[in-house]
Amino acid sequence: MDNISIARVLEETASLLEIDAADPFRIRSYRRAAEAVEQQTAQLASLADDPKQLLAIAGIGKGMAANIVDILSTGSTPLRDELLKKYRPSMLELLRLPGMGPKTVALIWSALNVCDIDALEEAAKAGHLNKLPRMGEKFTTKLLKGIEDYRKNSSRFRIDQAREHAERISALIREFPGIDEITPAGSLRRGRETVGDLDLLVTGPACEPDVVAAAVEHVASLPLIDKLLARGQNKVSFTLRNNLQVDVRLLPRASYGAALQYFTGSKMHNVALRQRAIKRGMTLNEYALLRVEDNSIVAAATEELIYRALDLDYIPPELRENSGELDAAANHALPELITLTDIRGDLHMHTVETDGAHTIREMAEAALSRGLQYIAITDHSKNLAMTNGMDDRRAIAHIQRIREIDTEMRGSIRVLAGIEVDILAEGELDLSDDTLAQMDIVVASVHSRFDQPVEQMTDRILRAIENPYVRILGHPTGRKVLKRDPYAVHIETILKRASELGVAVEHNASPARADLNDLHLRLAKQHGCRIVVNTDAHSTTELDQIRYGITQLRRAWLTAADILNTQPSAEALLAQLRPR
DNA sequence: GCCGTTTTCGGCCCGACTGTTTTCAGTCG
């Protein structure tokens, strides 16, 4: 059983305990353990024989280690089995409805014997809920709407789409006079691949307490609001037509840093941070870091001040997941994370020769204008017929054109000749070695059959990278965000072999693909892989998607030294790749 | 159930908003 599945069982147990009105701290322990398990790069199944290794994980003690051993051998724990006798698994789904918490789920179960969504809808329509305490007309209406939304769309939003919405909304809010700054917080700021909702923090003279009402009014009447969910003194919540929920908070300048810190999260990071504050005789909320004894403000205006006051180095948002960043910040051991400007080249992009939108020259100029020093043009090979993939003859001719453009650019940017070759079912490539031998960069990618058994898929990739001309393994997992593909491959096996062979592993920056997640990337580093981050751009604007790739690298604690395409020149880069 | 720069017991993060409430419980982030 993999870590994700173990974490799911622990999380389920936490929810069941919640419905059972168990000790809240015990519940938190299960949640914390679930998160910790999910963040491990090593598979717990492989180290459960040695209890010491489990106990070394923060948040896992004797009891939880025993639970994990149980889960690995039986798929469950005695406690969970016990709870499932008392309640129903379908209740866990009820918790996902807005307004439905553990207390309410427990209540409708004991009072009405309702344990799933269909029965709940029926009971609500029949007016049975109104007889229960604190559930009136409004509650029922809201619940029915929530059920409808849940069935329609219960998914999260991709980070690039969320960012676009954030920018659109921000532009509208900015029209109100006296708004200085709007920052998206929450998981968007932390760079998660998907976000559940949008948190926008707003500050400026118009957000000071005595005048904020007018600005709140402005936000609450934005034209793109589909449904207004709540409006308080300085907060407005609404949904867009696509069901994305947006929370806008208008905050005075003096406490903006505290708010930013608070609403950026993650939740577990915040909990840990507040515990640290308490130990130091302070308390932290969304307005300020305060000294407990006299309620005096220690820090509030910026995040930097708050972290410093807690004896911590500034922690970048991408690292705020309570996975060791507090210890590292306390010991001045945070890595110097890679930034966008560290990237000097992009080694995977397409042109009009196959399925791209722009010419070689246009791509080169666009890359140059973005400050890149080298790129590789890597159009598709023939097996991808729907992209107008090239056969050997066309691929050779294409190289010539790339070389010509490279010359025309007169060294302002180097344009390397490459190809994205397809890995066929048996692991061979769809172009001849003679052709590949003429390429500076050969990216080998799998493009189909992700429904194959894992072993077959892995085998296919392992065989392909044995080809001595392959220098980069393109989007190695074929994972697609929101499609919720399980890892289609034994990624650790592949990373190990790629590392041995000197084949670089690509992190595909495209948010749709988001190929390697932060755990994969940490694993790649552990195994000594050469990592490159590429956009796989099909148009000039898609070159900008590199920022999303960088965010994921940062989330994996990677530095410029961990990534190959930070090399200062094309020659330096080629020297790092598998020799020809 | 976890954890230890007061502790192996006794703590464990914080506030806003909602609905149906004359004082608060539940949910949410």
Q: Which nucleotides of B are covered by protein (CB under 7 A)?
A: 1-3, 6, 11-21, 25-29
Cβ of residue A234 lies below 7 Å from strand B: yes
Radius of gyration of chain A measured on its C-alpha atoms: 26
Q: Which residue is nearest to nucleotide B1 (CA to C1')?
A: A26
Cβ of residue A154 lies below 7 Å from strand B: no
Give how far Cα A237 sits from Cα of A170, A171, A200, A210, A240, Å.
14, 17, 10, 21, 10
A186 and A213 in a single domain? The answer is: yes
The answer to whether residues A51 and A78 touch, using CB atoms and an 8 Å cutoff, is no
**What is the per-residue pLDDT for A487?**
65
Distance A41 CA to B12 C1' (A): 28
A45 and A133 in a single domain? The answer is: yes
Nearest nucleotide to A105 (CA to C1') is: B26
Cβ of residue A30 lies below 7 Å from strand B: yes
* Domain span at A7: 3-152
**What is the per-residue pLDDT for A13?**
94
Residue of A398, A381, A472 whose CA lies nearest to A432: A381
Dist. CA A54–CA A50, nearest whole Å: 7
pLDDT interval class at A485 (50, 70, 90)? low
Distance A17 CA to B28 C1' (A): 19
Amino acid at A59: G
Phi, psi (deg, nearest 5) at residue A407? -65, -45
Residue A496 inside a domain? The answer is: yes
Distance A38 CA to B7 C1' (A): 30
Q: Which residue is nearest to nucleotide B11 (CA to C1')?
A: A25
Hits for CB < 7 Å against strand B across A residues 257-316: 263, 267, 270-271, 274-275, 277-279, 283-287
Dist. CA A40–CA A323, nearest whole Å: 9
A137 and A69 in a single domain? The answer is: yes
Block residue for tokens 């398990």: A37
Residue A98 inside a domain? The answer is: yes
Hits for CB < 7 Å against strand B across A residues 67-126: 67, 79, 95, 97-105
Distance A323 CA to B24 C1' (A): 36
**What is the per-residue pLDDT for A150?**
84
Dist. CA A77–CA A10, nearest whole Å: 9
Cβ of residue A19 lies below 7 Å from strand B: no
Mean pLDDT value of segment A20-40: 90
Give me the residues paired with residue A246 across strands. A198, A238
pLDDT digits (tens, 9 = 90+) for A199-258: 999 999 999 988 999 999 999 999 888 888 888 888 999 988 788 889 999 999 999 999
Cβ of residue A136 lies below 7 Å from strand B: yes
pLDDT digits (tens, 9 = 90+) for A184-199: 999 999 999 889 889 9
Dist. CA A130–CA A108, nearest whole Å: 11
Dist. CA A439–CA A394, nearest whole Å: 13
Residue A538 inside a domain? The answer is: yes
Residue A571 inside a domain? The answer is: yes
Give the residue from A330, A354, A377 where a domain finishes.
A330
A437 and A514 in a single domain? The answer is: yes
Q: Which residue is nearest to nucleotide B16 (CA to C1')?
A: A232
Distance A271 CA to B6 C1' (A): 21
Nearest nucleotide to A272 (CA to C1') is: B13
Nearest nucleotide to A236 (CA to C1') is: B17
pLDDT digits (tens, 9 = 90+) for A126-144: 888 888 888 888 889 889 9
The answer to whether residues A479 and A513 touch, using CB atoms and an 8 Å cutoff, is yes
Reply yes or no on whether the pLDDT at A171 is more than 90: yes
List the strands of the sheet with A289-291, edge to edge: A282-284, A289-291, A297-299
Distance A167 CA to B26 C1' (A): 34
Give how far Cα A356 sits from Cα of A20, A225, A233, A417, A507, Å.
56, 36, 49, 16, 20
CB atoms within 10 A of CB A409: 17
pLDDT interval class at A361 (50, 70, 90)? very high
Q: Name residues whose C-beta falls within 8 Å of residue A410's C-beta, 6 or more positions apart in sequence.
A: none
Dist. CA A161–CA A148, nearest whole Å: 23
Q: What is the CATH number of the domain that holds A496?
A: 3.20.20.140
Give the residue from A219, A251, A283 where a domain finishes.
A251
Residue of A427, A432, A417 whose CA lies nearest to A449: A427
Residues in chain A: 580
Residue A335 inside a domain? The answer is: no
Reply yes or no on whether the pLDDT at A52 is more than 90: no
> Exposed, middle or buried: residue A324 (CB in 10 Å: 0-12, 13-18, 19+)?
middle
Phi, psi (deg, nearest 5) at residue A203? -145, 165
Q: What is the CATH number of the domain that holds A183?
A: 3.30.460.10
The answer to whether residues A115 and A109 touch, using CB atoms and an 8 Å cutoff, is yes
Distance A24 CA to B9 C1' (A): 18
Nearest nucleotide to A280 (CA to C1') is: B5
pLDDT interval class at A413 (50, 70, 90)? very high
A172 and A303 in a single domain? The answer is: no
A147 and A161 in a single domain? The answer is: no
Distance A201 CA to B7 C1' (A): 40
pLDDT interval class at A515 (50, 70, 90)? confident
Nearest nucleotide to A290 (CA to C1') is: B14
**What is the per-residue pLDDT for A449?**
64
**What is the per-residue pLDDT for A512?**
81
Residue A195 inside a domain? The answer is: yes
Q: Which residue is nearest to nucleotide B4 (CA to C1')?
A: A279
A246 and A260 in a single domain? The answer is: no
Contacts of range A224-230, beta carbons closer than 8 Å, 24 or more positions apart: A224/A168, A224/A169, A224/A172
Q: What three-state secondary structure class fits A516? A: coil
Distance A230 CA to B17 C1' (A): 8
**What is the per-residue pLDDT for A450?**
64
pLDDT digits (tens, 9 = 90+) for A59-90: 999 999 999 999 999 999 999 999 999 999 99
Residue A14 inside a domain? The answer is: yes
A73 and A144 in a single domain? The answer is: yes
Dist. CA A430–CA A185, nearest whole Å: 46
Q: What is the CATH number of the domain that holds A267?
A: 3.30.210.10
Give the residue from A133, A152, A171 where a domain finishes.
A152
Hits for CB < 7 Å against strand B across A residues 191-230: 196-197, 199, 229-230
Distance A135 CA to B23 C1' (A): 18
A366 and A301 in a single domain? The answer is: no
The answer to whether residues A248 and A260 touch, using CB atoms and an 8 Å cutoff, is no
CB atoms within 10 A of CB A357: 15
pLDDT digits (tens, 9 = 90+) for A459-483: 989 999 999 999 999 988 877 777 6
Cβ of residue A345 lies below 7 Å from strand B: no
Q: What is the count of structural domains for chain A?
A: 4
Phi, psi (deg, nearest 5) at residue A420? -105, 105
A7 and A133 in a single domain? The answer is: yes
The answer to whether residues A105 and A135 touch, using CB atoms and an 8 Å cutoff, is no
Dist. CA A453–CA A435, nearest whole Å: 31
Block residue for tokens 């069941």: A16
Residue A129 inside a domain? The answer is: yes
A190 and A41 in a single domain? The answer is: no
Cβ of residue A64 lies below 7 Å from strand B: yes
Residue A295 tokens, joined: 């309620």
Cβ of residue A58 lies below 7 Å from strand B: yes
A265 and A246 in a single domain? The answer is: no
The secondary structure element, H or E, covering residue A146 is: helix A137-152
Q: Name residues whose C-beta falls within 8 Å of residue A161's C-beta, 6 or more positions apart in sequence.
A: A511
The answer to whether residues A534 and A510 touch, using CB atoms and an 8 Å cutoff, is no
